[in-house]
Amino acid sequence: MGRIFVLEDDKGWEAYYRRALRKYDLAFFNNGIEAIAAMDEEQPDLVILDVLLAGPTGFAVVHEMRSYPELENVPIIVVSSVKIREIDEKYGILKTFDKAEMMPSDLLSSVANALEVA
């Protein structure tokens, strides 16, 4: 069972992830500062994040993560209402989903693939 950090500040989406990804070991954060601090203690196997977050945006969290060697290769899946495809290549984002277009089965398979690789 993989350890997944989910950075999401919408309670409705948080409830959705809790249910959809219930077979995984999930930790939720509603802001980037707490998430980065937690990564100092424990390295997740996968990070799922939104872009619009408390304090630092998801962009900043990704940038911060990639600046630490131990977090450099942690897979990241971005699920957001904001189009952010331009950062995919630069920061090695595994997969980017638009919340309005994502299919639940695609999210589940992306998570499974990410944890398999990790």
Partner 1 sequence: MNANSGVVVVAHELKAPLSLVRQLALSLDLEDTPEARREISRQIVSTSERALRQVEDMLKVSRLDDALFEMEPVNPRAVCDDVVDELWKLFRFNRRELKIYYRNRRRLVVANTQLLHSVIYNFCLNAMNYGGEDLPSEIFISDKGYDRIRIEVRDYGPAVPTRIWRQIKDGVVKKPTEISMRPGSSGMGLYIAGKFTNYMNGKLGLTRHRDGTSFYIDLPVSGQLSLV
Residues engaged in binding partner 1 (CB under 8 A): 9-16, 19-20, 30-31, 52-55, 81, 99-100, 102-105, 108
- Rg for the chain, CA atoms, rounded: 13
In the complex, minimum distance from the CB of residue 2 to partner 1, in angstroms, rounded to a whole number: 19
Nearer residue to partner 1 within complex by CB, 34 or 92: 34
Nearer residue to partner 1 within complex by CB, 11 or 85: 11
Which tokens belong to 77? Answer: 């899946």
In the complex, minimum distance from the CB of residue 92 to partner 1, in angstroms, rounded to a whole number: 25
In the complex, minimum distance from the CB of residue 66 to partner 1, in angstroms, rounded to a whole number: 22
Q: Read off φ and ψ for residue 96, nearest 5 degrees.
A: -120, 130
Nearer residue to partner 1 within complex by CB, 45 or 50: 50
